[in-house]
């Protein structure tokens, strides 16, 4: 056999060996099909395949980040908002991720979009803005349950932004201002009520002890007398005058 034929045969053999050898990284697995039938999951390391007979599909086992596109959501109180989110998931079972669904990344993305609209549509706008942690957990639970059949584990879901139109932003600002005004009025009314209660208690105590009124009166006069720049005209209490008048009548 001529040397050229040996060289060609050697090159063909080398190409077959190269095509038969596959190297999988630590975070990769290979789903192997032999004549179209699933025959196992292999990796990591060097994998030997029979050329023309076996095919392998690589699967990445690392946590993958999926950006959920902005979705138009109508809240339960009929407010239109745009919401986008981010989802973190990983493949736990490469066999099911390849066999049970055609494209697990696309399927997970579409499922995340519909679930986001469905869950948020059941809540009012105030809940979307104030209870994100609760909503994140609700969305994650639903996605994790539905993707389990595909061998996928949803680790976390985070709502990134809730966008409102300008008219709704102004309405929320007016509502917040009205709420602050209402709270201020309530606090002022509560203060007035507490002050009135204390004055009523003081009046009741003074009513039981008439001498206390006179002492309070004298104490007030002492405080006023300290201001030498003012001319003060004050009434004389009948409690002080009455004993003098009685004594004058008896003496006369």
pLDDT recorded at residue 250: 58
One domain, residues 117 and 148: yes
Whether 198 is in a domain gets the answer no
One domain, residues 127 and 141: yes
Whether 187 is in a domain gets the answer no
Which residue carries 């996605």 as its tokens?
143
Examine the fold and report which residue of 169, 198, 215 is the final residue of a domain before the chain moves on.
169
Q: 117: which 2 tokens? A: 């609209």
One domain, residues 37 and 90: no
Whether 91 is in a domain gets the answer yes
More confident residue, 76 or 17: 76
One domain, residues 69 and 47: no
Whether 23 is in a domain gets the answer yes
Whether 214 is in a domain gets the answer no
One domain, residues 84 and 130: yes
Examine the fold and report which residue of 169, 192, 224 is the final residue of a domain before the chain moves on.
169
Work out the mean pLDDT of the chain and round it to a whole number.
Answer: 82
One domain, residues 100 and 130: yes
Q: Which ranges in the chain belong to alpha helices (H)? A: 3-20, 94-99, 104-120, 125-130, 132-147, 166-208, 210-225, 238-251
One domain, residues 81 and 47: no
One domain, residues 109 and 125: yes
Examine the fold and report which residue of 169, 199, 234 is the final residue of a domain before the chain moves on.
169
pLDDT recorded at residue 234: 56
pLDDT over 70 (residue 158)? yes
Question: Tens digit of pLDDT for each residue in 174-215?
Answer: 766 777 788 888 888 888 888 888 777 777 776 676 666 666
pTM for the whole structure = 0.64
One domain, residues 70 and 149: yes
d(CA 122, CA 30): 41
One domain, residues 133 and 89: yes
What percentage of the chain carries pLDDT values higher than 70? 73
Number of alpha carbons in the 13 Å side-chain half-sphere of residue 79:
24
Question: Tens digit of pLDDT for each residue in 8-34?
Answer: 777 766 677 777 888 899 999 999 999
Whether 251 is in a domain gets the answer no
One domain, residues 43 and 8: yes
The count of structural domains within the chain is 2
pLDDT recorded at residue 20: 81
d(CA 244, CA 184): 52
More confident residue, 199 or 89: 89
Question: Tens digit of pLDDT for each residue in 112-151?
Answer: 999 999 999 899 888 888 888 999 999 999 999 999 999 9
Mark 186-200 as b/e (b = at least 16 C-beta within 10 Å): eeeeeeeeeeeeeee
Whether 199 is in a domain gets the answer no
Whether 228 is in a domain gets the answer no
d(CA 246, CA 252): 10
Full domain range(s) for residue 116: 64-169
One domain, residues 45 and 68: no
């Amino acid at each position: 056999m001529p040397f050229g034929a040996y060289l060609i045969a050697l090159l063909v053999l080398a190409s077959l060996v190269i095509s038969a050898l596959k190297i999988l990284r630590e975070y990769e697995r290979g789903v192997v099909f032999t004549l179209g039938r699933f025959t196992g999951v292999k990796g990591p390391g060097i994998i030997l395949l029979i050329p023309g007979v076996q095919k392998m599909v690589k699967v990445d086992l690392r946590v993958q980040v999926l950006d959920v596109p902005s979705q138009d959501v109508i809240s339960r109180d009929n407010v239109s908002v745009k919401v986008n989110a981010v989802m973190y998931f990983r493949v736990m079972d490469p066999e099911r991720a390849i066999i049970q669904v055609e494209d697990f990344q696309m399927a997970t993305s579409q499922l995340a979009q519909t679930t986001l609209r469905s869950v948020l549509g059941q809540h009012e706008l105030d809940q979307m803005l104030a209870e994100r942690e609760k909503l994140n957990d609700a969305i994650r639970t639903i996605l994790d349950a539905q993707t389990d059949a595909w061998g996928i584990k949803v680790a976390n879901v985070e709502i990134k932004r809730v966008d409102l139109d300008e008219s709704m932003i102004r309405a929320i600002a007016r509502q917040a201002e009205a709420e602050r005004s209402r709270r201020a009025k309530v606090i002022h009314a509560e203060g007035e009520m507490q002050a009135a209660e204390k004055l009523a208690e003081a009046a009741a105590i003074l009513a039981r002890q008439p001498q206390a009124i006179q002492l309070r009166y004298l104490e007030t006069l002492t405080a006023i007398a300290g201001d030498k720049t003012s001319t003060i005209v004050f009434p004389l209490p009948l409690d002080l005058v009455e004993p003098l008048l009685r004594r004058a009548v008896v003496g006369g």
